[in-house]
Chains A and B, each alone.
Chain A
Amino acid sequence: MNPENIVDLLPLPVAQLHILLALADGEKHGYAIMSEVEVMTGGSVTMGPGTLYGTVKRMLNSRLLEEIDERPDPVLDDQRRRYYRLTGLGARVLTAEVARMEQLARTAERKRTLGTRQLGLEGR
């Protein structure tokens, strides 16, 4: 698979989408990613270490993420933590996946409207 071919990577597994979204506003370590996913999903999704790092491994292999050496705050930070950020490909895949989901949501909305009309439920 050509990693530059975004279509090959879509649709993204849910865990990958969550991680890409968590990293969309900057680099984070594992615990920060997990916390961000919890906040984003209103607490309905809590990623465990196995799921998180298994997914991160696959995303590193697909070059959606990269590990970075520099520390945002070397004084306060634990040196053992690993930080990750989106690659250019990761950002493009995230954009494409969100666009795909928007398209899907529009289709669902249209069908719902159509269904309501067909059933004579419009306005109820």
Chain B
Amino acid sequence: MPMSERAYRALLVAYPSEHRRLYGDPMNQLFRDRMRRDGGGLGTLNVWVQMGFDLVASAFKERMAALMAIETWTSRWWEASVVLLIVNSMVFGFTFTNSDHLGWGIATGFAPAVLLLTGLALKNSHPRGATVLLTVASVGAGFAWWAIYTVVLALTVVVGGFRSGRIGHEPPEPVAVS
């Protein structure tokens, strides 16, 4: 097999595996036909430039299509999101209810549960929306809650601490009583 064909065959790895399985051989065949017709000297370079652009553009398109296809959002993804959401909920709920922030504890305990139930309810009728909702809930909300909690905690300690005089001031010197 000529080097060009070997190289093109290797580059097909840019496509999703399912696409390669179905169309890898005919694509190779077409490349071979093009090389046979137009290859040789500068012709080979010309074919490679065309094939290069075609490969990059179409592989990107196929990858995006595979990514957006609901079939690829497997049940494993769902299971991972659900587990993450439940763990997230438990950790945040526990953390907040065992601190001074009972309201946050209730909110973070219930909000993921509501999102999870909504996602499950929509799973069949609106599978893509439900999956996005669950993913955002389990991953995005987790980060958001941590960020909010950190800011609230920082404000409580810094602002509250300054106001109460516990932070930023030297403790008063003991007064000697004669």
Contacts and interface: CB of A to CB of B under 8 A. Distances in A.
Given A53-B23, A57-B22, A48 B29 contact: no
A82 B25 CA distance: 10
A80 interface: yes
A51 B29 CA distance: 14
Interface stretch (B57-65, B73-81, B132-140, B144-152): B57-65
Contacts of A110: none
Nearest to A46: B50
A23 B128 CA distance: 35
Query: How many residues of A sit at the interface, in one of the four size bands?
Result: 10 to 19
Contact of B26 (A46, A48, A51, A53): A53
Contacts of A48: 30, 50-51, 53-55, 58
Query: How many residues of B sit at the interface, in one of the four size bands?
Result: 20 to 34
B166 interface: no
Contact of B55 (A50, A56, A57, A80): A50
A88 interface: no
A81 B55 CA distance: 20
Interface string B27-62: 111110110000000000000001101110111011
Nearest to A55: B58
Contacts of A80: 25-26, 29
Given A31-B33, A54-B61, A54-B62, A49 B27 contact: yes
B36 to A, nearest CB: 10
A93 to B, nearest CB: 21
A34 to B, nearest CB: 7
A26 B30 CA distance: 19
B59 A50 contact: yes
A52 interface: yes
Nearest to A81: B29
B126 interface: no
Interface string A38-51: 00000000111111
B96 interface: no
B101 interface: no
B30 A51 contact: no
B15 interface: yes
A50 B61 CA distance: 10
Nearest to B61: A54
Interface in B5-29: 15, 19, 22-23, 25-29
Interface of A: 30-31, 34, 46-54, 56-57, 78, 80-82
Given A48-B53, A54-B61, 8 more contacts: A30-B29, A30-B30, A49-B28, A50-B15, A50-B57, A50-B59, A52-B30, A81-B29
